[in-house]
C-alpha cells in the first residue's frame, strides 16, 4: 500500500501535466503496456524499436516483470504543464551526477524497506556506469532521443490531443466536484479521504506530499505512483493513470428521458452501446464505481439493462425495453 499524506495546501498545488518522456519511459515496462489495437497499436510495437535500433542502455534498463525500478532521471520532473521532448532530453543530459549514481544503485540493490527489489543489469550498462554518471546520462539521453524519434514521435500529435482532451475533461470535473472527488474517480485502486491518498500496491511506502502531479497515460494500463528514491531531493510524487478507452459513440439522452430517469441514469443507459463493466462506465463518466453500480442496479431492477458474467467481470447491456425507451423518449 502506498500512502501519501497531503493537506489542503498540497491539494491546492496539485496539477495536471502531459509528459512525452514519461510516456516513452513507460513503454520500457513490458508487463504494463497497453494492448490496444487500432489507433493505439503503436504502443505494442515500441519494444521492437529497442532491438532494431540496438539501444543497449535502454534495453538493459527495461523491465519485463513487475517489481523492479527504472531510474527516474530518465523522465525528468516537469517544470510546467507542457514540457517539450527537447527540454526533457536536455534535463536528462544535465541530471545531477549524485542523483544518477543513487538511482542506478537503486536499480541494482532495490529499496528493501519499500519492498522494491534489485536486479541484475547487463555488462554494457555496468561499463557505461563505470565511466561516470555524467557520461552515462549523456549517452542514455542520446538513446532516448533516438528511441523517441523512431517509436513515438510519429504518433505523438494524435496521442497528445487525446491526453490534452483528458486533462480538459478532468479539469471540468474538478471544477464541479473538487479535488478529493477527482482522486476517487481516477481508479478503483486509488482513494482519498481525510488528507490521505491510498493506492493499492505491492510496494510499502508512507510519506508526506507537498503536492501531487497528475499525469494521464495512453501507454500504461495500470495506475502507478512515481516516488523519489533519492534522500533529500523530495520531488513531488507523480500519479500516472491510464486514460479510459475511447467509448463507442452513444446516443444523447433527450431532456424527457433525463427527467424521467434522472440525468446520471439516462447518461449510463445511453452509454451502453456495447456490453460494458462498471469500472469502464465509471472511468468514462468520471464517477465512482460505487455510484455507477447503484444506478445500474436501479436500471436493472427496472428491466432496462441486463447483466452477465464474463470471466471475473460483470457486463451490463441495454435490454430491448431499454432500447425502446431510449428510442422513443
Q: Where are the domains of the chain?
A: 2-242, 255-328
Q: Do residues 133 and 57 make contact, with C-beta atoms less than 8 angstroms apart?
A: no
What's the pLDDT at 229? 63
105-109, 203-207, 209-213, 246-250: which range is least confident on average? 246-250
Of 144, 161, 107, 163, the closest CA to residue 24 belongs to 144
Task: Compute CA distances 140 → 34, 222, 292, whole Å.
Answer: 24, 26, 45
Of 281, 290, 283, the closest CA to residue 315 belongs to 281
The neighbour count for residue 192, using CB atoms within 10 Å, is 21
| pLDDT band with cut points at 50, 70 and 90 for residue 253 | confident
Q: Do residues 205 and 7 make contact, with C-beta atoms less than 8 angstroms apart?
A: no
> If you average pLDDT over every residue of the chain, what do you get?
85
Partners of 308 in the β-ladder: 315
The reported pTM is 0.69
| pLDDT band with cut points at 50, 70 and 90 for residue 226 | confident
Distance CA 318, CA 276 (A): 10
Overall average pLDDT of the 113-121 stretch: 80
What's the pLDDT at 234? 66
Element (H, E) at 23: helix 20-26
Beta strands in the chain (DSSP E): 2-5, 15-16, 110-111, 116-117, 190-193, 196-199, 205-208, 213-217, 224-226, 238-242, 305-310, 313-318
Proportion of the chain above pLDDT 70, given as a percent = 94
Task: Quick: pLDDT tens for 269-280.
Answer: 988 877 888 988
pLDDT for residue 248 is more than 70? no
Of 169, 308, 261, 239, the closest CA to residue 2 belongs to 239
What's the pLDDT at 67? 74
What's the pLDDT at 247? 42
Overall average pLDDT of the 253-263 stretch: 86
Fold classified for 255-328? Arc Repressor Mutant, subunit A (1.10.10)
Task: Compute CA distances 184 → 30, 190, 246, whole Å.
Answer: 27, 6, 20
What phi, psi does 279 have (nearest 5°)? Answer: -65, -45
Overall average pLDDT of the 201-214 stretch: 80
Task: Quick: pLDDT tens for 71-99.
Answer: 999 999 887 888 899 999 999 999 999 99
Q: 143: exposed, middle or buried (C-beta count within 10 Å: 0-12, 13-18, 19+)?
A: buried
Q: Is the dihedral of CA 110, 226, 208, 197 positive or negative?
A: negative
More confident residue, 71 or 285: 71
| pLDDT band with cut points at 50, 70 and 90 for residue 233 | low
pLDDT for residue 230 is more than 70? no
Distance CA 42, CA 36 (A): 9
Q: Do residues 322 and 250 make contact, with C-beta atoms less than 8 angstroms apart?
A: no
Amino acid at each position: 500500500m502506498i500512502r501519501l499524506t497531503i493537506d489542503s495546501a498540497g491539494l491546492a498545488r496539485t496539477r495536471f501535466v502531459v509528459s512525452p518522456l514519461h510516456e516513452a519511459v513507460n513503454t520500457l515496462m513490458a508487463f504494463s503496456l497497453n494492448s490496444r489495437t487500432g489507433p493505439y497499436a503503436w504502443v505494442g510495437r515500441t519494444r521492437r524499436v529497442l532491438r532494431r535500433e540496438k539501444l543497449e542502455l535502454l534495453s538493459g534498463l527495461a523491465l519485463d516483470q513487475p517489481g523492479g525500478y527504472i531510474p527516474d532521471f530518465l523522465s525528468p520532473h516537469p517544470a510546467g504543464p507542457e514540457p517539450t521532448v527537447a527540454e526533457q532530453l536536455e534535463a536528462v543530459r544535465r541530471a545531477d551526477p549524485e542523483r544518477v549514481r543513487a538511482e542506478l544503485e537503486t536499480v541494482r540493490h532495490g529499496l528493501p524497506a519499500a519492498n522494491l527489489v534489485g536486479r541484475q543489469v547487463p555488462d554494457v550498462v555496468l561499463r557505461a556506469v563505470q565511466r561516470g554518471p555524467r557520461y552515462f546520462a549523456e549517452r542514455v539521453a542520446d538513446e532516448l532521443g533516438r528511441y523517441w524519434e523512431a517509436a513515438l514521435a510519429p504518433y505523438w500529435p494524435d496521442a497528445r490531443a487525446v491526453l490534452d482532451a483528458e486533462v480538459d475533461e478532468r479539469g471540468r470535473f474538478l471544477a464541479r466536484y473538487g479535488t478529493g472527488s477527482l482522486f476517487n474517480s481516477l481508479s478503483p485502486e486509488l482513494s482519498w479521504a481525510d488528507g490521505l491518498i491510498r493506492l493499492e500496491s505491492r510496494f510499502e511506502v508512507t510519506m508526506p506530499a507537498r503536492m501531487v502531479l497528475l499525469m494521464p497515460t495512453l501507454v500504461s494500463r495500470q495506475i502507478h505512483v512515481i516516488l523519489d528514491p533519492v534522500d533529500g531531493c523530495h520531488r513531488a510524487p507523480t500519479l500516472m493513470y491510464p486514460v479510459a478507452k475511447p467509448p463507442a459513440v452513444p446516443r444523447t439522452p433527450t431532456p424527457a428521458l433525463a427527467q424521467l430517469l434522472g440525468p446520471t441514469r439516462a447518461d449510463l443507459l445511453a452509454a451502453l452501446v456495447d456490453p460494458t463493466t462498471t469500472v469502464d462506465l465509471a472511468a468514462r463518466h468520471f464517477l465512482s464505481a460505487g455510484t455507477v453500480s447503484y444506478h445500474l442496479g436501479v436500471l436493472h431492477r427496472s428491466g432496462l439493462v441486463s447483466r452477465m458474467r464474463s470471466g471475473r467481470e460483470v457486463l451490463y447491456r441495454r435490454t430491448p425495453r431499454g432500447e425502446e425507451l431510449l428510442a422513443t423518449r
